[in-house]
Amino acid sequence: MSAPSFFDIREIKKSNKNDTSNFYVGFFFDGTGTAITRPTKSVTHVSNNIEDLLLRPSTSWDCDYSSHRKHLWTTQKSPQPVETRSKKKAALNFLVLFIALFELHYKIKKRMVKMLFDTHVHLNARQFAEDREETIQRARDAGVKYMVVVGFDHETIPLAIEIAEQNENIYAAVGWHPVDAIDMTDKELEWIEELSAHPKVVAIGEMGLDYHWDKSPKDVQKKVFRQQIALAKKVNMPIIIHNREATEDIITILQEEKAEEIGGIMHCYNDSARYVQTCLDMNFYISLGGPVTFKNAPLPKEVAKQVPLDRLLIETDAPFLAPHPYRGKRNEPAYVARVAEDIAALRDMDVDEIGKITTENAKRFFKIK
C-alpha cells in the first residue's frame, strides 16, 4: 500500500472535567483529505506541545496496516539530537515571526493612503510646542503630503508662516478668528494684508461668525467678517470660513459681499445638507473633518455623500476634533487619513481615490503647483 499523502496536526480536547488542558496528535491523511490513522494514548506522538510535533517530519513514523485498514503505530525512528531539534525549533520560530511581520507590513501598506492634503491644521497651537517636528513626521509617514497651517491671532499668525517657511509642502493662511473679533483693529487688518504677500500664504482666514462664545458681540463679529472679505477681494485670495451656530448670517454676509468673486472653503462643515448647494453656488468648497467619523453625527455623513467630488476637501482642525477612535484626545494631521477612510466608505469608493481627488481639489483651490 502506498504511503499516506501528508501529515498534519490536530488539537484534541480532553473529556475529563477536572483537566481542561488540550493535547495535540499527529495524523496522516490520504489523497482525499480523509484521516487514516487512529492513534492510541500509548504512542509517543501524542504531545501537549504542538511545537514538538511540528518539528517531527512525517517520515519519522513507520506505518503498518491490517486487513481492516486500521492503522497501528509500530516503531519510531531514533529521535534527532537535542542540538538539531533546537536549531530547527529556532528556525521555525524565526519563520513564523517573519511571516507575521510580512503580513502586518502588507496590511499597513495596503491600508495607507498614498497622498493626502490636510487643508486646515493648527500646528502653531501650544499643544504641539513640544513635539511639532515629530507630529509632522508622523503625518508624512501616514501619507499626508500637503498641509495648510491656519493662523488666527497675534500669537498663531507669525508661527504659521514660520512653520510654512521651514517645511516643504506646508503652507499658511492668515486671518482673524471671530471669537477674538473685538481685539482686531485697523492695525491688525493692515498687518494681515502685508502678510498676504508672503509666497507661502495661500488664503485669508479663518474668519466668520461664532455665536457659541460671547467674547465678541455679534455686531462686532459681522463688521470684522465683512472687513476681511473686502481685504481678500483686494489681494485676490480665497477665504476660509469659521461657522458656529451662525449659518444663516454667514450665508447672508457672503452673498452681500459677493464672496463668490474669490471663493472659499466652508471649514469643518457640520451643518445641514440643505445649505450645501447654496455654498457651491457661491464658489465655495466643502471641507469635512473629524465629525464625519463620529457615530452620533449624521449631518456630516449625509453631506459627505452629497457633495460633488470636485468640491470636496478634507481636514483635521488639529489639535481639535480628533476623529474616531481618537475622539477626546489631541488631534494631529496624520489622522486626516481616518477622515478619508470614512468618506470613502460612505461613498463606496477606494480611499486612495478619495485621497487623490481631495488633494487635487485643494491644490487647485490654493493654486499650488
Q: What percent of the chain has pLDDT over 70?
A: 73
DSSP state of 256: H
Mean pLDDT over 102-109 rounds to 57
H/E element, 248: helix 247-256
pLDDT score recorded for residue 91: 75
pLDDT score recorded for residue 105: 56
Grid coordinates representing 63? 506505518
CA–CA separation, 248 vs 275, rounded Å?
9
Mean pLDDT over 175-189 rounds to 98
Mean pLDDT over 242-264 rounds to 98
204 and 335 within one domain? yes
100 and 9 within one domain? no
CA–CA separation, 88 vs 94, rounded Å?
10
Mean pLDDT is lowest, of 27-41, 54-68, 244-258, 335-349, for 54-68
Inform me whether the pLDDT recorded for 19 exceeds 60.
no
99 and 145 within one domain? no
Q: Which of 233, 227, 332, 229 has the alpha carbon at shortest distance from 289? A: 332
The number of domains in the chain is 3
Reported confidence tier of residue 97, pLDDT bands at 50, 70, 90: confident
Mean pLDDT, all residues of the chain: 83
299 and 346 within one domain? yes
Mean pLDDT over 78-87 rounds to 59
201 and 105 within one domain? no
Mean pLDDT over 331-336 rounds to 98
ω before 319 within 30° of 0 (cis)? yes
**Tens-digit pLDDT profile for residues 302-326:** 999 999 999 999 999 999 999 999 9
Q: What percent of the chain has pLDDT over 90?
A: 69
Q: Which of 62, 79, 96 is the last residue of a domain?
A: 79
311 and 285 within one domain? yes
The CA-based angle 151-221-257, given to 5 degrees, is 90
187 and 97 within one domain? no
Rounded to an integer, what is the distance from CA 141 to the centroid of its chain? 11
H/E element, 13: strand 6-13
252 and 129 within one domain? yes
Reported confidence tier of residue 1, pLDDT bands at 50, 70, 90: very low
What pTM does this model have? 0.71
275 and 153 within one domain? yes
Reported confidence tier of residue 18, pLDDT bands at 50, 70, 90: low
Q: Indicate the residue type of 183.
A: D
Cα separations (Å) of 144 from 89, 214, 312, 314, 358? 42, 35, 17, 11, 12
Mean pLDDT over 354-360 rounds to 98
Grid coordinates representing 283? 464658489
172 and 93 within one domain? no
Mean pLDDT is lowest, of 55-59, 110-114, 137-141, 162-166, for 55-59
pLDDT score recorded for residue 83: 62
137 and 20 within one domain? no
pLDDT score recorded for residue 340: 98
Q: Which of 267, 265, 364, 246 has the alpha carbon at shortest distance from 318? A: 267
100 and 239 within one domain? no
Domain holding 274: CATH number?
A: 3.20.20.140
Which residues have C-beta within 8 Å of that of residue 302, sequence separation ≥ 6?
273
Question: Between the CA atoms of 147, 231, 260 and 244, what dihedral angle is there, to the nearest 10 degrees?
Answer: 60
Domain span at residue 302 reads 114-366
